[in-house]
Structure 1
Amino acid sequence: MSTVNTTHKACTVNPLKLSQPVGGALAFLGLEGCMPLLHGSQGCTAFGMVLFVRHFRESVPLQTTAMSEVATVMGGLENIGKAILSIHQRAKPKVIGICSTGVTETKGDDVDGYLKTFMAEHTELGDLQVVYVSTPDFKDAFQDGWGKAVSQIIQSLAEPRVPVVTGAVNFLVGSHLTVADIEELRDLSEAFGLKPTILPDLSGSMDGHIPDDFSPITLGGTSLDAIRNLGSAELTIAVGEQMRPAAEMLMARTGQSYVLFDRLTGLEPNDQLLDCLSQISGRPVPLKYRRQRSQLMDAMLDSHFFFGGKKIAIGAEPDLLWTLATWLTEMGAEIAAAVTTTHSPLLEQMPCNEVLIGDLEDLENRALGCDLLITTSHGRQAAERLHIPFVRMGLPIFDRLGATHRMSVGYRGTRDLLFEVGNLLMAHEHENHPDSWPLPEAYHAARSPLALS
């Protein structure tokens, strides 16, 4: 059990937290033909735009209702209507996903009621779908905004009654999964002959492919038809605790059961996932995944000497923090410092003494004497000052290429992450204790044919 504390400093230094509207907007970017719209000032949208462009290194469709000082005080509902009409005329999206901000939430406008009246009056909008989600940035954090957006998408667009399709399966994926992680989940399910629907599907819209023509809206993602037919799946698989409310929303709306995986990094959770897919499909686990499992076990045997007893400091959103902390503890490391952004049921179960809801200054102070620092690119200066290895995880990662194509789920993803972290720990150990090289005899003894038999 872990004690959860919250920092009470007068100001945040080197923030770790990203706001709810940014998380909600990213979830909408996983829908096909969508235009995310932030209901707030231009600065709110500009911040999110810069963040996404630096991380994904792609053009990002994102619009704003451009609230002024007068509109903020008097009410900005007309700004929403003007923005919807302008976006529909210029971009012709299938979906407009609206996320509120702190400015508009403080005024307390009835946006839901306004949108119902507005859409009924403007029949020229045709089949345009407008989804509004309340994401004030003065509370909660990035993964909360993502989770709320997915729940609202399901509530607004999923059909309550659709016939079940044999072999259909849903994945509700958390904000901590990368494009490569989502693609791996699709490949895994298709290897069992299943037909997956992934929501939100950033692998279709933010995977970095070059389109044939310019599009002012998202280039791919989960289609409207797929969202409407979510209830036709045999089972919904939710990935991350943040997806529990969305899975429960889908179950309440369609009666469909779900199973939740709090993580998919590590040996045991992937064993459970493949067993789940095997039961749905009625097929045995393909041989290639049996071999990947064996490769992961061998990698764990090769690398656990370098993880054992190492002190790790992690700063991440709760679901990513849980994934990394649990996996590293299984490898024999110790979580010496854990800092996160928002509350989650997982925090009290973390394998460490304390979890702090704070900033990167708090993480740096607690990381003194640690062997490794894991957080976003904003932690790079702290790692330099601490003179310890640094692993970039989460969002944003703007000083390395290929952040979206980095995989950490499944047997292969776990193995690759194991090698990445293990190599850094190995190199750091060699730099600080050169006399300990080559490897201790215990390592070679464990790798001997007699030990392996």
Structure 2
Amino acid sequence: MARVVESKKACTVNPLKMSQPLGASFAFLGLDACMPVMHGSQGCTSFGLVLLVRHFKEAIPLQTTAMNEVTTILGGYENIEAALLNIRKRAAPRVIAICSTGLTETKGDDVDGYLVTARKRHPELADTEIIYVSTPDYVGAFEDGFKHAITAIVKSQVKPLPVVADQVTLLPGSHLTPSDIDELREIIQAFGLTPIVLPDISGSLDGHIAPDWRGTTLGGTTLEQIRAAGASAFTLGIGEQTREGAEALEAIAGTPLEIFERLTGLASNDRFLQRLSLLSGKPVPAKYRRQRSQLLDAMLDGHFYTGGMKVAIAAEPDLMLALGGLLHEMGAELTCCISTTQSKAHELLPAEQVLLGDLEDLETAGADCDLLVTHSHGRQAAERLNKPLLRVGFPVFDRVGNAHKVSVGYRGTMNLIFEIANLMIERIAHHHAGDWPLTPEAQLATRRLDKSNDAFPPTPLAAASA
């Protein structure tokens, strides 16, 4: 169990965490025909929009109530009313999802009351679902906003229904990519089960060319699917952040639940497939038995490069647990762990301490580490320290294909091991210049690499060049 310590610095120097409103907006982007709205100033929305566009390389529907100095003081009802009417007229979404910001939370806007008044004054809004979630950005982080958004969706839309035996609800955490969700859906369907994914960014943010343009999200969980979650026989939550939403489903529809703290690693995926086998009454398909065997081989191959190395990681709690847990299993030591917010996931992290801090803390404490793990805002620290950087989480804006990376399941875990090991191999290649001390395991791996290279004599062209 890691000890959690909060940074006592007077200011954040190089920010690590993203805000609650951005996390909630991200969750709402996983609903079909939805328009997320930040109730605050234009700058709050613009900043979040830029991060989302740069990360996914896609057009992102995100609106604002455009509060200014006067409307902030007098109250934001008129801004919310105008936003609702304009969005309904221009984009015709089925869902308008409103996230508060620090500006309007500090003022104390009664948004629930505003929405009741708006519906009374404008009956034409009756055909549009409106979901509101309180997400002040002066507390919590990206993961907290995502968590509260899932809970708000469940509480506002789900009602108890007769149970459908082969239907399950999958609640993915904010740390999962669209392709991660596709992988989990495929695994669940392989057992003959029908998953309802809430929210489903694999339908809206998977990098496809849409056949039409609606101005809202193009794909994701439909309203009908959300409501049908009241009939699910079981809820599968991926990440501690999904516990609140899963418990809300249990309270509303009596749906039993199980939270999987991570699905990156061997034992955690064994447990996941065993649960699916129990739910379906079917054995684990041969396909996944084969993938498990491949993962075991990948762990054997990769541990020569990861065993004994020191890692500095900065990420949201559930992502940190998923990656940190796997690295620990591969023989690495988590010497520096920087997180964004309080979470029970920290209790499971195989490290001595977790610091709620920023990327300056990562750079300071990670000077003696062999690998840095964080999002793209850590690239300058990696350059200054001359360390390899594993880009993870949100945002990753200096690489393409983020939506298609898979790090869950046996196959995704194997891909992640290869990515980390290859970073270390690349680093080992520079060791001969004397710029990096090798661990004993890495020295063994280097000797094996040198020996295997000697087994292949140079081609005549290469020999002539030499």
Which bracket does the TM-score occupy, shorter chain normalised? over 0.9
Distance, in Å, in 2 between the alignment partners of 1:115 and 1:71 is 17
Distance, in Å, in 2 between the alignment partners of 1:232 and 1:145 is 26
Partner of 1:237: 236
Q: Give the stretch that moved more between structures: 182-191 or 430-439.
A: 430-439
- For the pair 1:66 / 2:32, whether they are aligned, the reply is no
The two structures, once aligned, show a CA RMSD in angstroms of 1.6
Alignment of 1:17-28 (within 5 A): 17-28=17-28
Alignment of 1:299-448 (within 5 A): 299-432=298-431, 436=443, 439-440=446-447
Check conservation: 1:340, 1:358, Cα contact below 8 A. yes
Partner of 2:199: 200
Distance, in Å, in 2 between the alignment partners of 1:420 and 1:349 is 24
Q: Which amino acid aligns with 1:28?
A: F
Partner of 1:449: none
Change (3 A) 1:367 1:42: same
Partner of 1:84: 84
- For the pair 1:254 / 2:284, whether they are aligned, the reply is no
Q: Which amino acid aligns with 1:231?
A: G
Q: Which amino acid aligns with 1:170?
A: T
Check conservation: 2:21, 2:99, Cα contact below 8 A. yes
Q: Which amino acid aligns with 1:36?
A: P
Check conservation: 2:304, 2:444, Cα contact below 8 A. no
Distance, in Å, in 1 between the alignment partners of 2:265 and 2:311 is 17
Distance, in Å, in 1 between the alignment partners of 2:448 and 2:358 is 42
Change (3 A) 1:443 1:306: farther
Partner of 2:141: 141
Partner of 1:95: 95
Change (3 A) 1:441 1:431: closer
Alignment of 1:115-134 (within 5 A): 115-134=115-134
Secondary structure of the residue that 1:13 maps to in structure 2?
Answer: coil
Q: Which amino acid aligns with 1:391?
A: L
Distance, in Å, in 1 between the alignment partners of 2:423 and 2:198 is 34
Q: Which amino acid aligns with 2:34?
A: C
Distance, in Å, in 2 between the alignment partners of 1:315 and 1:390 is 11
Check conservation: 2:264, 2:412, Cα contact below 8 A. yes
Percent of pairs with identical residues: 56
Change (3 A) 1:282 1:389: same
Check conservation: 1:430, 1:437, Cα contact below 8 A. no
Distance, in Å, in 1 between the alignment partners of 2:73 and 2:88 is 27
Distance, in Å, in 2 between the alignment partners of 1:297 and 1:105 is 50
Q: How many residues align?
A: 443
Check conservation: 1:305, 1:443, Cα contact below 8 A. no
Q: CA shift at 1:225, angstroms?
A: 0.6
Q: 1:386-430 CA deviation, whole Å, 9 max, x = no partner?
A: 111111000000000101110100000000000000111122234
Partner of 1:38: 38
Secondary structure of the residue that 2:430 maps to in structure 1?
Answer: helix
Partner of 1:153: 153
When the two structures are superposed, what TM-score results if normalisation uses the length of structure 2? Answer: 0.93
When the two structures are superposed, what TM-score results if normalisation uses the length of structure 1? Answer: 0.95
Q: CA shift at 1:349, angstroms?
A: 3.4
Partner of 1:54: 54
Secondary structure of the residue that 1:203 maps to in structure 2?
Answer: coil
Secondary structure of the residue that 2:165 maps to in structure 1?
Answer: coil
Q: Which amino acid aligns with 2:357?
A: G
Q: CA shift at 1:282, angstroms?
A: 1.1
Secondary structure of the residue that 1:126 maps to in structure 2?
Answer: helix
